[in-house]
């Protein structure tokens, strides 16, 4: 197993278990303890983990878009996307963001009636996929292209939302916290998501389990935004999260 494969395996396991020992990882990868310690050092320099005695733990504010993640949990993303697509009706005006889950939602459109559907997006990749649906009225936000995410951001993208009313938005922020609300890794992402939320009647958060109980650099909004309709995730929520969402009349699908 090459170093990059081992390190991706470490990332995958840490995202699921939050902690791991050197010996467990060495056995998993069939390499020496020293090799795993070097891998931990590389991932520490990336900001992914913290080294502890005998092992490593996932950092509290780890970014949710490390290179391993697009290939992880595709089945989970597709299941979340299938649930999200159930809320899309003919004639809706919807917004889908630049997240990898958003592309999975677009794949589900082939299974529903898309008559008179308006789809707005800030995703270059989503626009390309929308070419497969000639009956859909597709619109781009405009803005500056981020080559890292394939998303369009900036003042032009934010201003775009002020010209339209959105029936539903489907977004995936970088982090979700009961006390700190929704947050993103950059100000431009947070501003775009906030503009979409403010101008929508219904907001569907499509968030995998790795983003819960975390906060990130830029705040999107708090839970009192008022139009967060539902949370769609890939694993059963704990009792605290269920009670929290019920108290705010936010539906959840886990």
Does an H or E element contain 120, and which? Answer: strand 118-121
> DSSP code of 162?
G
Per-residue pLDDT, averaged over 215-223, amounts to: 91
Higher-confidence position of 238 and 3: 238
Region 3-58: CATH code:
1.10.10.10
Higher-confidence position of 97 and 15: 97
Region 69-253: CATH code:
3.40.50.1360
Per-residue pLDDT, averaged over 206-226, amounts to: 88
What is the pLDDT, as a whole number, of residue 82? Answer: 93
Instruction: Tell me the C-alpha distance between 50 and 110, whole Å.
Output: 43
Higher-confidence position of 72 and 30: 30
Measured N-to-C along each axis, helices 22-29 and 33-45 cross at an angle, to the nearest 10 degrees, of 110
- Which pTM was predicted? 0.75
Tokens of residue 79, six digits? 């299941």
What is the pLDDT, as a whole number, of residue 101? Answer: 86
In this predicted structure, the answer to whether residue 74 has a pLDDT above a threshold of 80 is no
**What are the extents of the domains in the chain?**
3-58, 69-253
Instruction: Tell me the C-alpha distance between 60 and 3, whole Å.
Output: 24
Are the C-beta atoms of residues 98 and 121 closer than 8 Å to each other? yes
Q: Do domains 3-58 and 69-253 have the same CATH topology?
A: no
Tokens of residue 122, six digits? 């800030």
In this predicted structure, the answer to whether residue 67 has a pLDDT above a threshold of 60 is no
Phi, psi of 43 (to 5 degrees): -70, -25
The 10s digit of each residue's pLDDT in 103-120 is 899 999 988 888 899 999
Instruction: Tell me the C-alpha distance between 218 and 1, whole Å.
Output: 37
Paired with 176 in beta bridges are: 182, 212
What is the pLDDT, as a whole number, of residue 72? Answer: 52
In this predicted structure, the answer to whether residue 64 has a pLDDT above a threshold of 60 is no
> DSSP code of 101?
H
């Amino acid at each position: 197993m090459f170093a990059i494969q081992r390190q991706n395996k470490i990332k995958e396991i840490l995202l699921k278990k939050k902690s791991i020992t050197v010996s467990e990882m060495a056995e998993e990868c069939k390499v020496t303890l020293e090799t795993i310690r070097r891998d931990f050092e590389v991932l520490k320099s990336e900001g992914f983990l913290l080294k502890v005695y005998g092992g490593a733990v996932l950092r509290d504010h780890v970014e949710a878009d490390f290179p391993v993640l697009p290939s992880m949990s595709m089945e989970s993303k597709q299941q979340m996307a299938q649930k999200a697509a159930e809320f899309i009706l003919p004639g809706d005006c919807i917004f889908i963001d630049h997240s990898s889950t958003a592309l999975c939602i677009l794949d589900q459109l082939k299974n529903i009636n898309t008559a008179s559907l308006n789809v707005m997006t800030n995703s270059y990749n989503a626009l390309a996929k929308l070419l497969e649906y000639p009956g859909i009225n597709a619109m781009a936000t405009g803005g500056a292209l981020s080559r890292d995410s394939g998303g369009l951001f900036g003042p032009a993208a934010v201003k775009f939302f002020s010209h339209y009313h959105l029936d539903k938005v489907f977004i995936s922020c970088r982090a979700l916290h009961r006390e700190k609300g929704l947050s993103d890794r950059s100000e431009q992402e947070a501003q775009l998501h906030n503009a979409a939320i403010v101008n929508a009647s219904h907001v569907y958060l499509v968030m995998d389990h790795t983003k819960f109980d975390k906060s990130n650099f830029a705040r999107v909004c708090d839970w009192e935004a008022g139009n967060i309709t539902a949370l769609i995730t890939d694993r059963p929520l704990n009792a605290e999260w269920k009670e929290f969402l019920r108290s705010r009349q936010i539906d959840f699908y886990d």
